[in-house]
Structure 1
Amino acid sequence: MSRNLSSNCISITCSNDARSYSFGAVRKPEFLPPTTDALRLHIKRCNYQVCVWENAHIPKPSLPRLQDCGWIVQREQVVPRLITLDPIPETCPEIVVCHCKGHCNTKNCSCRKANVSCIKLCTPCKRSCLNSGDTQ
């Protein structure tokens, strides 16, 4: 019996898409993929390190400024700049998702309990339930 796997494919074009897709599936924020902003800064830091290694044989190499490469210089210490943007917009400080296997029609549903509609990040219902906002 063959199974159509293409129906399970999703379109992810950036780190933020991967983060949004994974949001409902992970239990802790630290397991989410990085934001596009955090990934960009990480790549800049990696690129700076590669520049250092490539020029290691030169006594006084011409390197880009640390501050332009994802680093912060504080009191003669260099620390990584992890983000420049808020990871979660201020407009949604608390996001509620459920993991209901039913129709999200009881107070066991964390979305219904919080008095909000289910969203696409809820798994496995993905808004195809009785608490989607369209059917209330």
Structure 2
Amino acid sequence: MSDIRYRHRISSMGKKSAAKVHQLKTLSPTSEAFVENVKRVHFQVCIWRSALTGEAPDMDPLENGWVSDDDFGVLMPVTFPPQTEIAPAAVMKLIQCGCSSETPCSTERCGCVAGQMSCSAFCRCRAEIRTCWNRWTLLKQRIEDANDSDEDESNDEDDSDD
């Protein structure tokens, strides 16, 4: 899928204006994003099918393309598996937001939020937790922090074996 995505992007470069080409929403999904979409669709279909029987499916949404966002009290779709790069660094330099309000990146007017991706160091907010209000950036940071603490715990257990 990623190869098809790349070839399609290259072939459309001459047909569209530069402003349209660099919009994130014009990119087709990567293979990793496609897998997460399929997980969510499968989960949704199982819920719809269970409506006919009256019994909820025995499925955990957190294992089927969703992640819990406790700060907002909602489930949010996983658009990429953890540790997956959205795009190469050269492409990420082209995709950036320029939000500058008191709560930057807090609304759908932010290109990163609208594209359901976290801000990066190339954005005006620099993706700094104290200045960026992008829910995807905050969620990514929480996931990275959780992964770091899991690694620290497993390292502590390894150290105690010595």
- TM-score by length of structure 1 reads 0.51
2 CA distance for matches of 1:53 and 1:93? Answer: 38
Partner residue of 1:81 out of 73, 78, 81:
78
2 CA distance for matches of 1:19 and 1:31? Answer: 11
1:17-28 alignment, distance < 5 Å: 17-24=3-10, 25-26=12-13, 27-28=21-22
1:32-51 alignment, distance < 5 Å: 32-51=27-46
In the TM superposition, residue 58 of structure 1 has moved relative to its aligned partner by 3.9
Higher relative contact order by CA 8 Å / sep ≥ 6: 1 or 2? 1
Query: Match for residue 124 of structure 1?
Result: none
In the TM superposition, residue 83 of structure 1 has moved relative to its aligned partner by 1.3
Query: Match for residue 53 of structure 1?
Result: 48
What's the RMSD between the two structures over aligned residues? 2.3
Unaligned residue ranges in structure 2 (runs of 5+): 14-20, 95-162
Letter of the structure 2 residue corresponding to residue 77 of structure 1: V
2 CA distance for matches of 1:47 and 1:89? Answer: 29
2 CA distance for matches of 1:58 and 1:22? Answer: 43
Unaligned residue ranges in structure 1 (runs of 5+): 1-14, 96-136
Contact 1:51 1:63 in 2 (8 A): no
1 CA distance for matches of 2:91 and 2:44? Answer: 36
Deviates more, 1:36-45 or 1:60-69: 60-69
Name which one, 1 or 2, has greater alpha-carbon Rg: 1
Letter of the structure 2 residue corresponding to residue 23 of structure 1: R
Task: Identify if the C-alpha distance between structure 1 residues 79 and 20 changes in structure 2 by more than 3 Å, giving closer, same or farther.
Answer: same
Contact 1:52 1:63 in 2 (8 A): no
Larger relative helix fraction: 2
Count matched residues: 81
- TM-score by length of structure 2 reads 0.43
Query: Match for residue 2 of structure 2?
Result: 16
